[in-house]
Amino acid sequence: MSSLIDYRSKSVTGLRGTIEVPGDKSISHRSIIFGSLANGMSEINGFLEGEDSLATLNAFRDLGVVIEGPQDGRLVIHGVGLYGLSAPKGDIYLGNSGTSMRLITGLLSAQPFRSRLVGDESLSGRPMRRVTDPLSDMGAVIEITEKGTPPVDIFGTSKLTRINYLLPVASAQLKSSLILAAMYARGLSTIEEPVITRDHTERMMSAFGCGITSNVSGCIKIEGGKDYRGTRIDVPGDISSAAFFIVAALICPNSNITICNVGINPTRIGILNILEKMGADIEVINERHDLFEPTADLKVRYSTLKGIKIPKNQISLAIDEFPIIFIAAACASGETILRGAEELKVKESDRIESMAKGLETLGIQTTVYDDGIKIIGGEIGSGTVNSNHDHRIAMAFSIAAIRSSGEVLIEDCKNVATSFPNFIDLAKEVGMRIDSEVR
């Protein structure tokens, strides 16, 4: 039986320093996928060496792609072309990575061989029908459990048909899965979003020279069967990881930190928009727009936050950052209300319930809705909370302890390695008091 890792986190006064967070997880996944499907060599720098993105890397090695590295975030991928993947010798294990599972399902549905995708206990409970149903409409043959969860058995076919599809939910994973399948379909496929979601797939395909167009209204067109060539990708720092340090500085008196080289893709900056509406002092400096993804440095100072009603048009732009936004809300004056965020209930955990239980344990009043939560700011106490196998829940409560009256013990933090393997080291670098222990 594998050991468990817990965090012990304590209050501090004043965070200082300049740091750089690891590479963006979403972009790291996609760099492996498109580098593998390109003709020729691709060089990736800034790749996130976390368990989730390494799961994607190992999956493509299982599919016959030669990948050198990672070494200090650098990879060299020897692409096999659109039609060069090989049948895996066994099950493809994807650990805890929902992104890997959903995107690779779309890709493998169009390959001329059979494959099986499996994951850990948490991933094995994640819903897959929203992906497999439209893929089936394209002609894919996929089997999942009666509950609609992994493992995923894919009986690949080279005869997928084009699709004209309006996404029923705002989901970048669903969108990207269908885009990958459409790359192999005959003719022009159209995918429309009800709300704009992160567009890393579209940007990266454009960087590689793939046959894709998109517009500001969320209409994406993909021409099937188009080859493309390898390129160089520089992965910026992950704003989802930076978010923990942004909130840490905002809620800790006498704090002033700078986070360098953070991706500020317009489809990912909901966290900045929401926090600034709450009164946050966040300065965006040194903006660079010469790469396929815009980047900047973020200067963050302690701020007196106020509760707000979170705008619905920001939800899809901050979908992964809500656990730490809830901590900011707990430290703000007044009420913060989030509605229309049903997607949070099907992440690594039910993030609404998980955060509500932990906040209540620490003395913060909450009201849970079917699609959101109300949080009344107050004094954070000490106590023991459980992450429910969710890396973002674990890190969020580690940050909450900055304002606690005593120690906060966060149970089951092993999955932090999926997205942020050096989280504690960086936290200590700016002055936080977080320690891990094995039990």
Tokens of 316: 């899809």
CB atoms within 10 A of CB 399: 28
pLDDT tens sequence across 243-287: 999 999 999 999 999 999 999 999 999 999 999 999 999 999 999
Higher-confidence residue of 346 and 81: namely 81
Confidence of residue 2 (pLDDT cuts 50, 70, 90): low
What is residue 285's predicted lDDT score, i.e. its pLDDT?
A: 97
Confidence of residue 290 (pLDDT cuts 50, 70, 90): low
Domain chopping of the chain, boundaries = 5-23+236-438, 25-233
**Residue 181 is encoded by which pair of tokens?**
């399948």
For residue 196, the tally of other CB atoms under 10 A from its CB is 17
User: Does residue 1 register a pLDDT over 60?
Assistant: no
Q: Which two tokens stand for residue 298?
A: 């973020």
| Distance between CA atoms of residues 156 and 413, nearest Å | 37
425 is catalytic: no
Mean pLDDT, range 114-143, rounded to an integer: 95
What digits encode the pLDDT tens for the residues 401-435?
999 999 999 999 998 988 899 999 999 999 999 99
**Binning pLDDT at 50, 70 and 90, where does residue 291 land?**
low
- The per-residue pLDDT for range 23-45, each reduced to its tens digit, is 999 999 999 999 999 999 999 99
> Mean of the per-residue pLDDT values for the chain?
94
State the SS3 of 225-271: CCCCECCEEECCECHHHHHHHHHHHHHCCCCEEEEEEEECCCCCCHH
Q: Quote the tokens at residue 424.
A: 């504690």
Cβ-contact 132, 152 below 8 angstroms: yes
Which one is predicted more confidently, 349 or 393?
393
Same fold, 5-23+236-438 and 25-233: yes
- What's the average model confidence in pLDDT over 337-361? 89
CATH 3.40.250.10 at 25-233, yes or no: no
Residue 210 has a pLDDT of 86
Describe the strand order of the beta sheet including 365-369 as a list of residue ranges: 335-338, 372-376, 365-369
Q: Evaluate if residue 138 carries a pLDDT over 60.
A: yes
Question: Rounded mean pLDDT of 101-121?
Answer: 97
- Structure confidence at residue 349 as a pLDDT band (50, 70, 90): confident
Strands 295-301 and 256-263: antiparallel
Q: Which one is catalytic: 24, 199, 234, 320? A: 320
Architecture in CATH for domain 5-23+236-438: Alpha-beta prism (3.65)
Evaluate if pTM is beyond 0.95: no
Q: Would you say how long the chain is, in residues? A: 439
